[in-house]
């Protein structure tokens, strides 16, 4: 029986015992997606991490049959499919080593737009926490930022951020911990329909998969990986939002946390993130603008070349490179013709002097 390319893509994500990282290694070893399923067992076991059991799982023809059924479901329900090797796969998520090889989406919003923020927090949000979330998103609109808001559709801060985004005219994306045949929590079904119309629902789970506790933790990496920065608004000391913040930091994305009173249970997680320098303190929208480089007035100011006077020749060279553009350390190293270690040392000096700052995605830019 012949199968479509989409069937093979879905099947790769279904192999029991094969996670996202190993799945990508399988494709690289086989030389093609389809080749994974026709590779000889004795060849598969040579791949690090693949033993006899996994090799047998890969060769199971039932995988392709199940994948074909899921493909029919996606076509019937107008569901978009994103595969890690396809051009439409979100660029930010593709940079994450454990990103899903495949995920499904209801909705048409652009997952590669220029400004994306994830907002997470406790399910037991206080009135003050919800009010801060609503005000923050409203201020982003007042400042004419076009932002995609990502969250998880849970009670508390999640649903507040989705609804505030919709009310402000922003697209919003909810990352689910189950397949599209279910909706959890059921009371958010109406909002979920609005999200589909003005953003999208995302899941890496098959249509028939019910919500399970481990799935909520697993989906957090997608919430963190889709965005430029993750904002935590209220969390206790062991909240799921802290897991998302930790993942975001591991992806070298910015993390913000909203402080609260030391006596409030729902502020302890955020206060700890700030205290341990795992998150930047967030009190107002200008904090985001500054650290993310979104301050248009600041960006439009001419560079004061007099600030270069005390720099040595190598530092001046790097400052000139960053005059009109943001660059990664590798790009700076190549343009300046120096080792990465040398460029890193010089950039650190420029950061200490306040001339340069590091932006999300390990981009460097000149302060103005």
Query: Cα–Cα distance between 314 and 214 in angstroms, integer?
Result: 50
Query: Cα–Cα distance between 220 and 43 in angstroms, integer?
Result: 35
Q: What pLDDT shows up at residue 303?
A: 47
User: Any idea where the domains of the chain sit in the sequence?
Assistant: 1-76, 116-292, 301-366
The per-residue DSSP string of 115-183 comes to -EEEEEE-SS--HHHHHHHHHHHHHHHHTT---EEEE---TTHHHHHHHHHHHTT--EEEE-SS-TT--
The 3-state DSSP composition of the chain as helix, strand, coil percent (nearest 5) reads: 45, 15, 40
3-state secondary structure of 347: helix
Query: Which H helix or E strand runs over 286?
Result: helix 285-292
Cα–Cα nearest to 74, from 205, 212, 176, 192? 205
Q: What pLDDT shows up at residue 59?
A: 81
Decide: 142 and 184 in contact? Cβ < 8 Å.
Answer: no
Number of Cβ atoms within 10 Å of the Cβ of 54:
20
1-76 and 301-366 have identical folds: no
Say which CATH class 116-292 falls into: alpha beta
Burial 93-107 (b: 16+ CB within 10 A, else e): beebeebbbbbbbbb
CATH of domain 301-366: 1.10.10.10
Q: What pLDDT shows up at residue 277?
A: 84
* CATH 3.20.20.100 for the 1-76 domain, yes or no: no
Residue ranges, the chain, pLDDT below 70: 1, 296-309, 359-362, 368
């Amino acid at each position: 029986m012949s199968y479509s390319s989409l069937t093979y893509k879905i099947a790769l994500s279904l192999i029991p015992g094969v996670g996202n990282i190993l799945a990508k290694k399988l494709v690289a070893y086989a030389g093609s997606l389809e080749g994974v399923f026709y590779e000889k067992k004795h060849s598969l076991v040579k791949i690090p991490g693949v033993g006899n059991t996994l090799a047998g799982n890969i060769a199971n023809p039932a995988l392709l049959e199940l994948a074909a059924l899921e493909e029919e479901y996606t076509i019937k329900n107008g569901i978009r499919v994103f595969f890690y090797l396809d051009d439409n796969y979100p660029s930010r998520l593709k940079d994450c080593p454990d990103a899903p090889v495949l995920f499904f989406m209801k909705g048409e919003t652009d997952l590669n737009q220029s400004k994306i923020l994830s907002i997470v927090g406790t399910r037991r949000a206080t009135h003050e926490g919800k009010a801060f979330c609503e005000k923050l998103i409203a201020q982003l609109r007042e400042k004419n930022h076009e932002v995609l808001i990502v969250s998880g559709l849970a009670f508390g801060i999640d649903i507040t951020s989705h609804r505030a985004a919709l009310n402000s005219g922003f697209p919003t994306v909810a990352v689910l911990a189950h397949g599209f045949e279910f909706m959890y929590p059921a009371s958010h079904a109406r909002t979920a329909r609005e999200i589909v119309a003005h953003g999208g629902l995302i899941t890496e789970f098959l249509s028939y998969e019910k919500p399970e506790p481990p799935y909520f933790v697993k989906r957090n990496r997608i919430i963190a990986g889709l965005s430029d920065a993750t904002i935590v608004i209220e969390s206790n000391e062991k909240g799921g939002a802290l897991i998302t913040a930790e993942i975001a930091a591991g992806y070298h994305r910015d993390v913000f946390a909203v402080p609260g009173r030391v006596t409030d249970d729902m502020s302890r997680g955020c206060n700890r993130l700030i205290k341990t320098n795992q998150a930047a303190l967030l009190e107002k929208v200008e904090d985001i603008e500054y650290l993310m480089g979104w301050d248009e007035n600041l960006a439009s100011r001419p560079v004061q070349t007099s600030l270069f006077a005390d720099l040595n020749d190598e530092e001046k060279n790097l400052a000139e490179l960053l005059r009109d553009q943001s660059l990664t350390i590798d790009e700076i190293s190549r343009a300046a013709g120096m080792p990465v270690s040398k460029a890193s040392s010089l950039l650190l000096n420029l950061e200490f002097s306040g001339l340069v700052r590091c932006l999300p995605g390990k981009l460097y830019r000149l302060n103005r």
